[in-house]
Amino acid sequence: MFLKKKKEYVEYFNSNIFEEINKLKKEKNAILLAHYYQIPEIQDIADFIGDSLALAQQAKNTKAKIIIFAGVHFMAETAKILNPDKKVIVPDITAGCSLADSCKPEEFKNFINKYPDHKIISYINCSAEIKAMSDIICTSSNAVKIVESFPKEQKLIFNPDKNLGAYVNNITGRNMLLWNGTCEVHDILNVEKIIKLKQKYHDAKLISHPECKATILKISDFVGSTTALLNFTKNDSSLKYIVATETGVIHQMKKESPQKEFIIASNEENCSCNDCYHMKKNTLEKLYLCLKNESPEIKIEEKLIDKATISIMRMLELS
């Protein structure tokens, strides 16, 4: 009897969860920001979906009292740094990032101390502590522009993504020192497997995120941030794409271009290696609970916020 009731409750809850979340958002004057790598249901209920730059810009400009960030920790942390007086809550506080984790503040401090004449550009996928040690932040959509804002003779350190750093070095002709970090989702992609996919789907274009290895970027028809990839598929005339990034973005691609076919560039057919384990920790149920309880909340020391704001604001001013 109890089990039957519990099952009925779960069914009721699941069918009404969108309504419940929308009701709570309104009551609490909360905005839901979501990254393209979130599960489709979260993307569908979000007030704004975007790449890392667009999400930071949206967080900076929102008038809402509460920001619910459906993404990973460094993204919500950036929103908090830009809104120290607002409550920033997340569905799962343990949703991290392999890139951010690859750059520990103590190790990075020792590294940069060896190069006092270098300026430091950090990819937004890093902790608040690393942002506080950086001269400027960049995302995958503005990395080239940010690097080119420095004079050619200026020595630069780029961290933590060595693939994005090498890609930008190649485009700009710079020779930035690169931290040895990678994204576990993009770096695992294997060029031989992708060449096989290209042979199988010979009429498809290969589009890739710059967190992929150089060997993959070299054979790609287009390279860009999640928003840039989405816009490319919207405006380009092809009907088929091999997509070398996390699976989540395909939801918006299909919505924007239902007549087109999107093939995920994974190493094995039907494997889930392109699902970001961290991004996919967020569920509708956790989202509902975090909004209801206004927890877990992102908390950062005031001193750290003051330091980290400078490098983020420099990026926003240049973007």
Q: What is the 3-state secondary structure (H, E, C) of 234-254?
A: HHCCCCEEEEECCCCHHHHHH
Determine if 233 is a binding residue for ligand 13P (CB under 6 A): no
Cβ–Cβ < 8 Å for 246, 225 = no
* Nearest to ligand SF4 of 251, 278 (CB atom): 278
* Nearest to ligand SF4 of 38, 257 (CB atom): 38
Packing angle, helices 73-82 and 302-318, rounded to 10: 90
Q: Which of residues 39-68 bind ligand 13P (CB under 6 A)?
A: 51-52
Q: Which of residues 19-48 bind ligand SF4 (CB under 6 A)?
A: 37
- Select from 218, 216, 201, 210 the least CA-distant residue to 260: 201
User: CB under 6 A: which stretch of 19-27, 57-65, 105-113, 139-147 binds ligand 13P?
Assistant: 139-147
Determine if 99 is a binding residue for ligand SF4 (CB under 6 A): yes
Determine if 278 is a binding residue for ligand SF4 (CB under 6 A): yes
Q: Is 173 left (phi over 0), alpha (psi -120 to 50) or beta?
A: left
- Select from 30, 92, 32, 90 the least CA-distant residue to 66: 30
Determine if 125 is a binding residue for ligand 13P (CB under 6 A): yes
Among 30, 137, 176, 276, binds ligand SF4 (CB under 6 A): 276
Q: Which does 98 bind (CB under 5 to 8 A by kind): ligand 13P, ligand SF4, none?
A: ligand SF4
Q: Which does 217 bind (CB under 5 to 8 A by kind): ligand 13P, ligand SF4, none?
A: none
Among 216, 264, 279, 305, binds ligand SF4 (CB under 6 A): 279
Under rule CB under 6 A, how many of the chain's residues touch ligand 13P?
Answer: 12
- Select from 37, 36, 19, 35 the least CA-distant residue to 27: 19
- The DSSP 8-state label assigned to residue 87 in this structure reads E
> What sections of 156-301 are H helices per DSSP?
162-172, 184-187, 191-200, 214-218, 226-235, 249-256, 284-293
Among 102, 139, 159, 233, binds ligand 13P (CB under 6 A): 139
- Select from 120, 152, 183 the least CA-distant residue to 310: 120
**Which H helix or E strand runs over 39?**
none
Determine if 72 is a binding residue for ligand SF4 (CB under 6 A): yes
* Nearest to ligand SF4 of 64, 179 (CB atom): 179
**Interaction site with ligand SF4 (CB under 6 A):** 37, 72, 97-99, 125, 183-185, 246, 276, 278-279
**Interaction site with ligand 13P (CB under 6 A):** 36, 51-52, 125, 139-141, 183, 209, 211, 225-226
